[in-house]
Homo-oligomer: A and B are copies of this chain.
Amino acid sequence: MAEKQKLEEQLLSPDYLESNEWKLIKKVEDYAKDRLNTVAHGFDHTERVFQNSLIIGLTEHADLLTLLTAALLHDVGRDIEIAIGADHADASAHEAKDFLKSVNFPVAKIKRVFEAIHGHRSSREGKHAFLESRILSDADKIDSLGAIGIARVFTFGGKINRDVQDTIVYFKKRLDKVMMQLHTDRAKRMAEERYNYCVSYLKRIEEETANIK
């Protein structure tokens, strides 16, 4: 309980970043807001990944400027993936790097932001060489679980023309994979109850759709 209380106090206080760092974060946030517009990865998703990153980052003593910047920019290239098929993690990392140079972001940290974003795609699992990269990956995955994860997986399914039944099959497989891909203990604690909710949701779908025959 003491740990939880301490964390909540930290979350409510902006002292975990210097004021010049907050100014940079604000610039990054404005840029991200402007660039995020796809149906299942809009700015609301990025806001939640930011929040999850902050919670895990404070617990794990991460470099918060690197981590929160990477969280804000991790999906800015989604529209490029949709438009021309380029990998969105690649596209986002390159776009982030160019933007951060333009606002005089600390050069040594641009490299870390680039690598964290580049590595956040699920298929690149196991390539998280440093803490902030692992936390971004965890924070992103938590948002694919729970009631919001259900809303997002079906919305994305419809967007790519995948029908309800195929998304159910996909989601079932994905759930267990996500749980195995989590790195930090904090993320595992955040994920557990959301995972259980998804499992009971899928069980309920089966019951509702089983015909009396």
Neighbouring B residues of A44 by C-beta, 8 Å: 163-165, 209
Neighbouring B residues of A152 by C-beta, 8 Å: 154, 164
Q: Is A106 an interface residue (CB 8 A)?
A: no
Q: Is A57 an interface residue (CB 8 A)?
A: no
Provide the bound-state CA to CA distance between A208 and B12, in Å: 18
A121 to chain B, nearest CB (A): 20
A147 to chain B, nearest CB (A): 4
Interface of A, helix, strand, loop or mixed by DSSP? helix
Q: Is A51 an interface residue (CB 8 A)?
A: yes
A-B complex: 5 closest residue pairs judged by Cβ atoms: A158-B158, A154-B154, A158-B159, A155-B158, A147-B204
**Partner-B contacts on A (CB < 8 A):** 8, 11-12, 38-40, 42, 44-45, 47-48, 51, 146-148, 150-165, 167-168, 194, 197, 201-202, 204-205, 208-209, 211-213
With A151-B164, A194-B208 known, 11 other A-B pairs at CB within 8 A are: A8-B212, A11-B212, A38-B163, A44-B164, A45-B164, A147-B204, A148-B209, A150-B151, A153-B154, A155-B158, A159-B161
Instruction: Give 7 A-B contacts (CB < 8 Å), ordered by A residue.
Output: A12-B213, A38-B163, A42-B165, A47-B211, A151-B154, A152-B154, A155-B167
